[in-house]
Structure 1
C-alpha cells in the first residue's frame, strides 16, 4: 500500500509515470486510483476527448500503442486505460485477438511524454514467468491492490466515517465487517448509510450497525455455522428461514454451509501444522478475515466431527439433487441432527 500512496502523491504533484500496471482483487481501490488520475491529470473540460479506454479482449496491443504514440489534439496529455485479463496473468487465453507484444516492449523503452498508459488487471497475482511481466516490473510502475485486512480494514472504515465528520466505534466497525463482509465497495455504501443515519458530529455504535445493516448471504452462513457450533439450534433455523425469505435456493444454502465446514476443517488441519493465519489464507486462497472466522469456529469442533458433517452434507446434496428429499425439509433435518 505504501507504493500506492507514493504513486498517488506523485500524481497529485503532476508527475505521473508513463506506464502503470495495476492489479489485484480490490476493485474499489483500483477504481479510486484511476479516478484520482483523471481528476488530477486531466482538466474536467478535456476529459471527454483526453481519456481513452480499451480492452485487450477485443483490441490488439499494437493498436493501443498506436493511440499512445499519436499526439493529442488541443490537450497537453492523455490517459489511456486498458482492461486486461490475459497479457499479464496465467491461464488459457480464449481470445481470438493476436497481440504483437514487441510493440509494447519497444514502447516501454521510449514512451511518449504526452501519454499515460494504465493497464488494469483484476486478479490476485501476475504471471511472473511471462517475459512481459518482468519487463513491466523493471520499466513501468506496477501497483498491487490487495484486499485490506485486520486493523488496516477497520482503520479504513473509521477514516471514511471521519471524512464525513462521524465517529464510528471500533466495535461498531468490527460488527460492520461481520455483517457486510470485506468488500470495500459494499463497506463504502454501508458506511455512507450509517453516517447519514448518525448525522454530522454523530457516533455510530454497534446497535446502529445491527439496526441498519443487513447481513449478506455469506455472512449469514458464517452466523448460522456459529449458532450450530454453540448448539443454538433455534437461532440457526431463524437464519435459515431468513435466507429462504430472501429467495436463496436451498441447494445454494447447503453448498455454502458445506463450503464453510470444509474451510473450517482445512484451517484446523493447517493450524495443527503450525501454519500462521496469513500462511493459511495464502495456502487456501482466502481473505484473512474468513480464515480468522473459520479459525475461531474450528475450536468448537473435533476434526472427526467435521469430516462426518461433510459426509452428511455430501449425502444430502445427492438426495436434494435427485429429488429423494424435499430441499427445505432436508436442510431442516440436517440442522436438527447437528443440534441433537
Structure 2
C-alpha cells in the first residue's frame, strides 16, 4: 500500500491531507521526503511544522487556509496528533477544537497539503475524529514490516539504487541486520555503492560488507547449542572470539537470551502478539520475532537448567585467571540432559 502511495506522489498526485500513522519512523520520514521532492516550490526550509502537543489544531487549520505567499502550495507537518488515540485528559497540555477539524476535513484547503503524524501503535477507533481522519485523508500505515512485505520493500529499495536482490538473498540481509528499515536502507545503499549501482546482490557480497547484529550471532549460538549441534556451536563461538567478543560478555548475553525466551514463551501462552511482547519486555521486535518463529525452543525445565549452568560458568569465568575461552567451550561441548 505504501509503495502505491509513494508512486502516486512521485507522479505529482499530491493530496490535501495525509495521515501517517505507526511506529516505523523510516516510513514516515521517507513519505515526507517524497512529498517535498514532488512539490517543486518546496524545500526542507519552507516546510511549516507544528507540534500538536504544544499547539492547538486550530493553528494548523488557520495556516492551511491562509494563501501561500511565494509557493503554489504549502506543505504543513502536524506532528503528535495525540487526539487520535486514547489519552489521559488530565495530562493533555492543549485543548483542540476537534469539531472545527471535523468540519475542515470535509473541505480542506486547495492550496495546502497537511500531513498529520500519529506515531503510535494504534489509534482509538471509537473516536469520531479517528474514523473521519482515516476516511478523508490519504493514510500511510507506518508499521514495522515483516515476511513478504519486508523482502518486497528490500527489493524495491535495491531497485531504486540500481541493483537487484532475490527474495532468498534479501532474507540473508535481514538475518544479518534485523528488520529496522533505517538500518536496511543504509546497508542497501552501501552495497549498491560497492557494486557501482549495477548487478545482482549475492550472499557473499552481504557477508563481506554487512556487519552482523551481535544479537543475531548470540541467537544463532544459543539456538545451535540448544539443538545439540556442537560443531556449529563451536564454529559460531570461535567466530565471535575472533571478532573480539569476551567469554564473560557472551555468557551474559546468552543468559539474557534464555531469559528472553522464557518471558516470550510465557506471554505467547497468554495470547500476546509480537509488538505487544516487544513493548512489554522493552526489547527490539526483531528479537521477539526470532524467538516466536523458532521451533527449537526447549521446555521450560531445560531453559531453567541452562540458566543455572550459565550462572556457574559466570562464576568460573570471574574467578579464574587461566584461559577463559576454554571454560565456555567445555560448556558448549557437554551434552545437556534434563
Q: CA separation of 1:6/1:195 partners in 2, compared to 1, >3 Å: closer, same or farther?
A: closer
Does the 8 A contact of 1:18 with 1:112 survive in 2? Answer: yes
Which stretch shows the higher mean deviation, 18-27 or 287-296?
287-296
Q: TM-score normalised to the size of structure 1? A: 0.75
**Are positions 1:205 and 2:202 aligned together?**
yes
**Are positions 1:96 and 2:93 aligned together?**
yes
C-alpha deviation, 1:338, in angstroms: 6.6
Uncovered stretches (5+) of structure 1, i.e. residues with no partner = none
**Are positions 1:265 and 2:265 aligned together?**
yes
Does the 8 A contact of 1:225 with 1:236 survive in 2? Answer: no
C-alpha deviation, 1:241, in angstroms: 5.0
Per-residue deviation, residues 153-186 of structure 1 (Å, max 9, x unmatched):
2233233333333333444322211011111111
Q: CA separation of 1:198/1:138 partners in 2, compared to 1, >3 Å: closer, same or farther?
A: closer
Q: CA separation of 1:264/1:38 partners in 2, compared to 1, >3 Å: closer, same or farther?
A: same
C-alpha deviation, 1:217, in angstroms: 3.3
Separation of aligned partners in 2, 1:226 and 1:308? 15
The count of aligned residue pairs is 323
Separation of aligned partners in 2, 1:195 and 1:103? 48
2:139 equivalent among 132, 139, 142: 142
Does the 8 A contact of 1:25 with 1:147 survive in 2? Answer: yes
Matches within 5 A, 1:66-105: 66-84=62-80, 86-90=82-86, 92=88, 94=91, 96-105=93-102
**Are positions 1:194 and 2:208 aligned together?**
no
**Are positions 1:253 and 2:253 aligned together?**
yes
Matches within 5 A, 1:27-176: 27-44=25-42, 48-49=45-46, 51-84=47-80, 86-90=82-86, 92=88, 94=91, 96-176=93-173
Uncovered stretches (5+) of structure 2, i.e. residues with no partner = none
C-alpha deviation, 1:55, in angstroms: 1.4
Partner of 1:215: 212
| Secondary structure in 2 matching 1:72 | coil
Q: CA separation of 1:30/1:256 partners in 2, compared to 1, >3 Å: closer, same or farther?
A: farther
C-alpha deviation, 1:335, in angstroms: 8.4
Aligned Cα root-mean-square deviation (Å): 4.1
C-alpha deviation, 1:140, in angstroms: 2.5
| Secondary structure in 2 matching 1:152 | helix
| Secondary structure in 1 matching 2:78 | strand
C-alpha deviation, 1:40, in angstroms: 1.5
Q: TM-score normalised to the size of structure 2? A: 0.76
Per-residue deviation, residues 261-287 of structure 1 (Å, max 9, x unmatched):
2366348x65xx9x9xxx954664599
Separation of aligned partners in 1, 2:222 and 2:264? 10
Separation of aligned partners in 2, 1:266 and 1:305? 15
Q: CA separation of 1:139/1:207 partners in 2, compared to 1, >3 Å: closer, same or farther?
A: closer
Q: CA separation of 1:131/1:197 partners in 2, compared to 1, >3 Å: closer, same or farther?
A: same
